[in-house]
Amino acid sequence: MKRILLISSLLVILLNSSTFAAQSMVTGGYDYSFGLKSSVFDIEYSSEITDSSAWAVRIEDLPTGTGSSSHSTNGIGAGISYRGYFNPTVLTGPYWALGIDAISLAIFTVDPKIELGYFYISRKGITIGIRSYIGYAIATGANTFDGGLGLKIGYGW
């Protein structure tokens, strides 16, 4: 996992000189999570609000087991985030976000979170992103902190 994050970070830094100003993007990704969730696959749509902010909606799949042969859905979720970008080219570069997810595991869980990340969009629209987040999962009898590191790949236009 450290290797993936290091390689992704280097790609983003090296390719940052040729970014594309997109207004919308769709990404798919994987989060290595700790806490209530062990891992999360998600598909996310993001769209510009202003030159320095965007919103994002996502659908999540929370699998059990490891490897593709043992994949079965343990839960599903959906979420929304508000993102603020540190530079005036929205959807590209470093950002912070406030979000909330609703997750159906064995019990229904609400998970507000804070996120930090970085997106790179090439001139052809190819998107690479990394993120980290921390949240507090609220469920009947199972309140706990959670968080994770993620990698996203997609397309921006």
Determine the Cα–Cα distance for residues 66 and 30; give it in Å rounded to an integer: 13
Domains of the chain: 2-150 (2.40.160.20)
For the segment 101-148, what is each residue's pLDDT rounded down to a tens digit?
998 877 788 999 999 999 999 989 999 999 999 999 888 777 888 889
Q: What pLDDT shows up at residue 117?
A: 97
pTM of the model: 0.79
pLDDT at residue 101 in the model: 93
Q: What is the pLDDT of residues 36-93, one digit of tens each?
A: 666 789 999 999 999 899 999 999 988 764 444 444 557 899 999 999 999 888 889 9
